[in-house]
Structure 1
């Protein structure tokens, strides 16, 4: 699967993407709200190979897409099937050097359109750490609505964290 926007190409990860991807996943500021810590020299190749293997979306398989801008990987979009039919969870990570330039909005709009149009997905959700204000604003900008605000419901990195859930139905996207 490949998608393009005005500035980016979204495609499955390739082995040649390792150094670009490691450049942002090794950063503490990038991983602070993720379920894992920064990649290290010891675990980076294993973590990256998991992304490369997730290259075909289906009801049983997650898809990881590299976001390429000017022949460099600047981000990562994840699409995970949920336990409900025709429902997925999306996740996204971008190199901070590209923050505030509309790349996340642009790429997520293309992914959402693809999921609703091509894959006939019924519902898309995003689950995020409430401290990640930028991610919450992005969910709102792409038209998602807040469905849940859970207090200290998730144990991550030695602390209880608050979780937000945002959702978008196919009919809401086109209204």
Structure 2
């Protein structure tokens, strides 16, 4: 799958994307609300290899998507099927160096349109750390609605954290 938007190319990861991706995932600020710790130099290559291997979406395996802006990977997205019929979950990470330009919104909207129009899914959801205000704003900007707030439901990085679930149906796509 490759999606082209006005400014972006959303595509499978390639070997040439390693350094851009490593810079994103070794940044502690980027990883603050992720389930994983920042990548160490020793594990970066193996973590990146996992993204390379997820080059297409199947019912059993998610798809890792490179967000390419003028030949540079500025973000990483993933989609995967949940256990619920015709439902995808979406996740994303973007470099803060490219914030404030609407690029994350453009990328997420494009993946949502792809999910509903090409994959014919019924629902897309995003689960996020409730402290991640930027991610919450992004979900709202693309038309997702907050459907749940779970209190201290997830043990992450040594503490109990709250989670938000945002969802969208095909009929919500504008």
> TM-score, normalised to structure 1's length?
0.98
**Unmatched runs of 5 consecutive residues or more in structure 1:** none
**Unaligned runs of at least 5 residues, structure 2:** none
Q: State the shift of 1:58 in Å.
A: 1.8
1:142 Cα deviation after fit: 0.5
The answer for the alignment partner of 2:6 in structure 1 is 6
Alpha-carbon separation, structure 1, partners of 2:130 and 2:120: 29
Q: Give 1:162's aligned residue.
A: 162
Secondary structure class of the residue paired with 1:155: strand
> 1-side partners of 2:117 and 2:80: how far apart?
17
Residue 56 of structure 2 aligns to a residue whose secondary structure is coil
Matches within 5 A, 1:134-173: 134-173=134-173
SS in 1 for 2:42: coil
CA shift for structure 1 position 60: 1.7
TM-score (norm 2): 0.98
Q: Which deviations, in whole Å up to 9, do the C-alpha atoms of 1:19-77 show, x marking residues without a partner? A: 00001100000000000011111110111000110011122220000000111000011
Residue 61 (str. 1) matches residue 50 (str. 2): no
Structural RMSD (CA): 0.7
Q: Which runs of 4+ in 1 moved over 2 A?
A: none
C-alpha separation in 1, matches of 2:123 and 2:54: 21
